A and B are shown apart, each in its own frame.
Chain A
């Protein structure tokens, strides 16, 4: 039984359809990415999951409850079980770090001793216990998001909704926040729905992703499969930094875990007797292990032979657009 399952969801604002025939499910304990361009409907979809947004037809089933059928009290109970973090953190500037984390506990009338203990524990988890009495305005973006995470976890939710949670942060801070999320996913058994347009965040954190464009699903599947054989849509999302080499054909070779990089390159060079240049490459971390790719530049006369070789060897590859 999936912890979240959405079926044929449809949502309109006035006459414009923002979400069309959306169906997917999220399994307990996974990090599920919702990826797409600005305006694709990611935030709207995420907000349908905890009832911040209504929907016109279809079904949103979360933790055994049909969100559209809940009364206001039922919605609040659902939200108690679902934390949410935001791109702009959305902390109360009038409160200290500690008071921000205490707020949900106060609103749910958690006894004082218990709530102090819980807030302290969470602030230790996110590494801000020492700064608990400071104003949130004194914190950096990454630290604010850590407070946001602690606050979102205060009521011990089962699901954490993240709306562009790392999009306002620099790359280094993004990584540390993602690692924190992955840690708590494991230690707390959390399910995370992660909305983003950052490819780095997707690769690092998500087990599975769903591509959304114009309010419609373009594809759903395990993250590594998306990146090993990227679709047209995904490619449009990933800014391709290796597309600009003069002359010849740039080919990107993907290396899944089981293939040794060096062996492929050297054996191809030997077998075909072609000269090619390695013009780029990257080791990347997908969810839990390291994979990589190389971009090689092949002279045009050899292009067809190289492609035939790659095809025959059943490698993952793609020709990068030249210019």
Chain B
């Protein structure tokens, strides 16, 4: 506490000083966070996109309804979403160890992050697909489009702006998850804030971690908004 107060009191020299002092810990941790968030966003998006396509095909009003398949996916996705991340990360540790060779560290953490975020991504993208005007789908069917063509030539382009916005929502959720993962053996800013800031009483490290996380979230959100407004035809 005293560190933080003195850092603030001696602003701006104290801030620069504090940053200099902690940069060797902060920047690698920030890099790790970017790596974890980036990789797991890409992977969970890919997995979620695939699930969303299967759900939109098999859904009750889907292009090729398969009620049993859909209800299984529906339950799995809801289950995945309702499990608290901290529980999930521990629960799938044996699986993580099996796949990644270890359950500890930045790279290993990408797996639970992906598993946690994929159902979330699937729901977001499914909702985006469902929002596409039924009439447009019907028009595509009226000139003989196949189901695959409807998904990739109609649903995806029509839903793309909204999907882009949801990728930033996904990324931001993963920033939060990754910070949590830090406390149970992942790396990154969460780990740093916990080790040095909380355990080691270096409050200004915690503060820096918060600042960097806020900055990261802001950048992701702004990027999503920008892409959305670029893609939106009538915006």
Q: Which residues of A contact B (CB under 8 A)?
A: 50, 52, 75-80, 82-84, 86, 88, 90-95, 103-104, 106-108, 135-137, 148, 151-152, 154-155, 161
Segment touching A, from B41-49, B97-105, B130-138, B193-201: B130-138
How many Å from the CB of B102 to the closest CB on chain A? 44
Partner pick for A108 among B136, B138, B140, B144, CB 8 A cutoff:
B144
- Report the minimum CB–CB distance from A118 to chain B (whole Å): 13
Please tell me if B230 contacts chain A, counting CB pairs below 8 Å: no
Q: Is the CB of A154 within 8 A of B133?
A: no
Let me know if B142 and A52 touch, CB within 8 A: yes
B158 touches A94 (CB 8 A): yes
Number of interface residues of B (CB under 8 A): 22
Q: In the complex, are the beta carbons of B144 and A93 less than 8 A apart?
A: no
Residues of B within 8 Å of A108, CB to CB, are: 144
Residues of B in contact with A (beta carbons under 8 Å apart): 133, 135-136, 138-146, 149, 153-154, 157-158, 160-161, 231, 233-234
Cα distance, A106 to B158, chains bound together (Å):
17
Mind listing 5 A-B residue pairs with CB under 8 Å?
A83-B142, A90-B139, A137-B234, A152-B142, A152-B143
Q: Which residues of B contact A91 (CB under 8 A)?
A: 136, 139
Q: Are B138 and A135 in contact (CB under 8 A)?
A: no
A92 to B149, CA, bound (A): 14
Residues on A with beta carbons closer than 8 Å to the beta carbon of B231? 94
CB-nearest residue of chain A to B141: A52
When A94-B160, A137-B234 are in contact, do A151 and B138 touch as well, CB less than 8 Å? no
> Are the C-beta atoms of B160 and A83 separated by less than 8 Å?
no
Distance (whole angstroms) from the CB of B138 to the closest CB of chain A: 6
Taken together as a complex, chains A and B put the C-alpha atoms of A92 and B154 apart, in Å, by 7
- Inter-subunit contact B133/A90 (CB<8 Å): yes
- Chain B residue nearest to A75 (CB atoms) is B144
Report, nearest first, the 10 A-B pairs whose CB atoms are least far apart. Answer: A84-B142, A90-B139, A90-B135, A76-B144, A79-B144, A104-B143, A137-B234, A94-B157, A80-B144, A135-B233
Q: B157 touching A79 by the CB < 8 A rule? A: no
Known: A52-B138, A86-B139, A92-B158. A135 touches B144 (CB 8 A): no
- In the assembled complex, the Cα of A83 lies from the Cα of B140 at a distance in Å of 11
SS class of chain A's interface: helix, strand, loop or mixed? mixed
A107 proximity list for chain B (CB < 8 A): 140, 143-146, 149, 153
In the assembled complex, the Cα of A14 lies from the Cα of B141 at a distance in Å of 24
When chains A and B are docked, how far (Å) is the Cα of A84 from the Cα of B133? Answer: 16
Contact status A103-B153, CB under 8 Å: yes
Assess whether A90 is in contact with B136, with CB atoms less than 8 Å apart.
yes
How far does the alpha carbon of A161 sit from the alpha carbon of B160 in the complex, in Å? 30
CA distance A155 to B143 in the complex (A): 8
**Nearest CB to that of A76 among chain B residues?**
B144
- Which of chain B's residues has its CB closest to A81's CB? B144
Nearest residue, chain A, Cβ from B146: A76
Nearest A residue to B235, CB-CB? A137
The distance in angstroms between the C-alpha atoms of A107 and B154, with both chains bound, is 11
Task: Please state if A86 and B149 are interface contacts (CB–CB under 8 Å).
Answer: no
Chain A residues whose CB sits within 8 angstroms of the CB of B139 once the complex forms: 84, 86, 90-91, 148, 151
Q: How far is the CB of B201 from chain A (nearest CB, A)?
A: 54
Known: A90-B133, A92-B136, A92-B154. A50 touches B142 (CB 8 A): yes
Pairwise interchain contact B143-A95, C-beta atoms closer than 8 A = no
Give every chain A residue within 8 A of B154 (Cβ-Cβ).
92
Q: Which of B142, B145, B146 has the most CB of A within 10 A?
A: B142
Neighbouring A residues of B149 by C-beta, 8 Å: 107
Cβ–Cβ contact A79 & B143, under 8 A? yes
Point out the residues of chain A lying under 8 angstroms from B157, CB to CB: 92, 94-95
Are B233 and A93 closer than 8 Å at their CB atoms?
yes
A200–B149 Cα distance when bound, in Å, is: 38
Q: Which residues of A contact B143 (CB under 8 A)?
A: 79-80, 83-84, 103-104, 107, 151-152, 154-155
- Besides the known contacts A52-B141, A94-B157, 11 further A-B residue pairs in the complex with CB atoms under 8 A apart: A76-B146, A79-B141, A79-B143, A90-B135, A91-B139, A93-B234, A94-B233, A107-B144, A107-B146, A107-B149, A151-B139
Question: Complex: how many Å from CA A188 to CA B144?
Answer: 21
Residue on A with the closest CB to B135?
Answer: A90
Q: Which residues of A contact B146 (CB under 8 A)?
A: 76, 107
CB distance from A272 to the nearest CB of B (A): 57
Contacts of B234 in A (CB 8 A): 93, 135, 137
- Report B157 CB to chain A, min CB distance, Å: 4
CA distance A148 to B161 in the complex (A): 23
Residues of B within 8 A of A80 (CB): 143-144
A104 contacts B160, C-beta separation under 8 Å: no
B138→A90 contact, CB < 8 A:
yes
* Chain B residue at minimal CB-CB distance from A77: B144
CB neighbours (8 Å) of B133 from chain A are 88, 90
Looking across the interface, which residue of chain B has its beta carbon closest to that of A105? Answer: B143
- CB contacts (< 8 Å) of B142 on chain A: these are 50, 52, 79, 82-84, 152, 161
Contacts known (A104-B144, A137-B233); A93 close to B158, Cβ less than 8 A = yes
Closest Cβ–Cβ distance, residue A173 to chain B (whole Å): 19
Residues from chain A with a CB closer than 8 A to the CB of B136 are 90-92
